[in-house]
């Protein structure tokens, strides 16, 4: 029966179970080691990624799917006359949105819509699942897009980076800065603001201090009654991350009426930029 089909890319970091339960299709980004190309979540996962980085002492490049991959996904989703809504990684991070728009333009006007999440990882996933909620509520495409615009502005994304090695290998900090950061045990907290990444804090000392920094920001929003209680994500490329149970427990303590605290694993594309040991808290505010 025709309806509205939701599509996202692999950087949304939603588990196979969540994707299946919400009938969400995924177009994978690519992880490239020299001439070798792997689809994120298909041929490449974080375990394999971290092993290959250690063996080769270099980071891969990541790339967006080409328009043909989106064309195929959109054609499948709309074959029965349905509309398709693609929600993807911020245009500031990747050409993914641009390629999706190229493919969407080949379909009848309005049949395929493309929405910039202005986020990454489960910051995208929150918006994808919210869109699924709206589809189940019987909302039209225009109503969903208008709601997502407002919802998107309230998404809060923060990750603690556990090792400076990947930032250095990826050219995001100098060798001196990486060495000093490692010696002083400085742990950057990365947040997403206006569709791009910023260093929200540089926490010195044990990782638990950086976790507390994120939880304090969450608690401030919760105390003001601003956190949407539907779902909160704790996301890491590690499976499992040793601090995930603590994060879940603290989220539930801070926000007792939260309906779901979902632990998900970040994929290889996100993992290639942040490295092992990274963990984040992602939620939506009103």
Q: Does 129 share its domain with 166?
A: no
**Structural domain count of the chain:** 2
pLDDT in tens, 81-94: 999 999 999 999 99
**Residue finishing a domain among 153, 172, 187:** 153
**Residue finishing a domain among 121, 137, 153:** 153
The chain-wide mean pLDDT, for the chain, equals: 92
Determine, yes or no, domain membership for 223: yes
Q: Say if CB 16 and CB 22 are below 8 A apart.
A: no
Q: Does 141 share its domain with 164?
A: no
Residue 168's pLDDT is 40
**Residue finishing a domain among 153, 177, 206:** 153
Q: Does 121 share its domain with 180?
A: no
The CA distances from residue 66 to 57, 79, 88, in Å, are: 28, 20, 14
pLDDT value at 173 more than 70: no
Residue 257's pLDDT is 97
Classify burial at 95, counting beta carbons within 10 Å of its beta carbon; exposed 0-12, middle 13-18, buried 19 or more: middle
Backbone torsions φ then ψ of 220, nearest 5 degrees: -65, -45
pLDDT band with cut points at 50, 70 and 90 for residue 240:
confident
Residue 181's pLDDT is 40
Q: Does 193 share its domain with 183?
A: yes
Residue 167's pLDDT is 54
pLDDT value at 177 more than 60: no
On the question of a cis peptide bond just before residue 240, with omega within 30 degrees of 0, the verdict is yes
Distance CA 215, CA 220 (A): 9
Determine, yes or no, domain membership for 260: yes
pLDDT value at 211 more than 80: yes
Determine, yes or no, domain membership for 49: no
pLDDT band with cut points at 50, 70 and 90 for residue 273:
confident
pLDDT in tens, 38-70: 999 999 999 999 999 999 988 899 999 999 999
pLDDT band with cut points at 50, 70 and 90 for residue 165:
low
Q: Does 73 share its domain with 84?
A: yes
Domain that holds residue 237: 155-284
């Amino acid at each position: 029966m025709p309806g509205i089909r939701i599509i996202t890319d692999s950087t949304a970091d939603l588990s196979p179970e969540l994707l299946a339960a919400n009938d969400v299709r995924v177009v994978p980004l690519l992880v490239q080691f020299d001439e070798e190309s792997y689809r994120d979540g298909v041929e490449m996962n974080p375990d394999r990624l971290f092993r290959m980085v250690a063996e080769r002492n270099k980071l891969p490049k990541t790339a967006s799917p080409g328009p043909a991959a989106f064309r195929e996904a959109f054609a499948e989703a709309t074959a029965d006359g349905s509309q398709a809504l693609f929600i993807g990684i911020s245009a500031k991070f990747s050409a993914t949105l641009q390629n999706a728009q190229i493919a969407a333009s080949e379909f009848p006007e309005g049949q395929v819509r493309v929405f910039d999440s202005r986020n990454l990882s489960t910051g995208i996933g929150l918006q994808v699942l919210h869109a699924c909620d709206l589809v189940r509520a019987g909302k039209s495409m225009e109503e969903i897009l208008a709601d997502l615009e407002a919802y998107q502005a309230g998404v809060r994304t923060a990750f603690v980076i556990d090792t400076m090695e990947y930032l250095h290998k990826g050219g995001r900090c100098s060798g001196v800065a990486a060495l000093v950061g490692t010696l002083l045990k400085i742990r950057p907290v990365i947040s997403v603001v206006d569709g791009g990444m910023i260093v929200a804090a540089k926490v010195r000392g044990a990782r638990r201090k950086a976790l507390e920094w994120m939880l304090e920001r969450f608690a401030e929003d919760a105390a003001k009654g601003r956190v949407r209680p539907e779902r909160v994500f704790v996301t890491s490329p590690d499976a499992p991350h040793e601090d995930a149970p603590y994060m879940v427990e603290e989220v539930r303590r801070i926000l007792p009426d939260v309906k779901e605290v979902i632990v998900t694993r970040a994929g290889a594309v996100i993992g290639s930029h942040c490295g092992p040991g990274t963990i984040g808290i992602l939620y939506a505010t009103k």
